[in-house]
Amino acid sequence: MDLLIRPFKPKDYPEVAKIYQAGIDTQIATFETEAPAFAAWDLRFCKACRLVAEVDHKVAGWAALSLVSKREVYRGVAEVTVYVAPQHQNKRIGFQLLDALIQASEQAGFWTLTAHIFPQNKASIHVHQKLGFKLLGVHDKIAQRNGKWQDNALLERRSTKIL
């Protein structure tokens, strides 16, 4: 497997959207119900720290950061998002994407990364914990998806390079 992790380009979005939708369809990845149009996606995620993983020159996964607040005091705090195409899962691509995203975030000056993960998404929680994220707790019944209340685990990783 020839894996390349590189910066996201707008031309990648059709494949990114397909991967995002596949994650949405699992019903354990996000509260979203459909992948947004590029304009909405582009507004949601920081321009810096957008990555894609390519396998054999095809997008196999993506990762990005979104600010947790627009307030200046929180400029170094962001939420991570990582998705891997179903056919490429269990190949350590998510681990490598998240690791690269952590490195990119530190180069961009982020000191705290958060992740909000459904507790039943044990694989994602495991990958985050292997890369230094700590479970802070669980938001019980934080939001509804398809009319059902869902919990959300809150994880955090503090940079050891920027503090």
136, containing H or E segment: strand 134-145
Are residues 110 and 159 in contact, defined by beta-carbon separation less than 8 angstroms? yes
Q: Please check whether residue 51 lies inside any domain of the structure.
A: yes
C-beta pairs of 64-71 under 8 Å, 24+ apart in sequence:
64/8, 64/101, 65/101, 65/105, 65/110, 65/113, 68/114
**Residue 92's CATH number:** 3.40.630.30
Which pTM was predicted? 0.95
Q: Please check whether residue 88 lies inside any domain of the structure.
A: yes
Q: Please check whether residue 67 lies inside any domain of the structure.
A: yes
d(CA 48, CA 55): 22
The domain total for the chain is: 1
Q: Please check whether residue 93 lies inside any domain of the structure.
A: yes
Summarised one tens digit per residue, pLDDT across range 29-50 is 999 999 999 999 999 999 999 9
Region 111-119 average pLDDT:
97
Tell me the HSE value of 15 on the side-chain side, using a 13 A CA sphere.
20
Where in the sequence is the domain holding 94, given as residue range(s)?
A: 3-158
Helix (H, G, I), strand (E, B) or coil at 123: helix
Q: Please check whether residue 163 lies inside any domain of the structure.
A: no
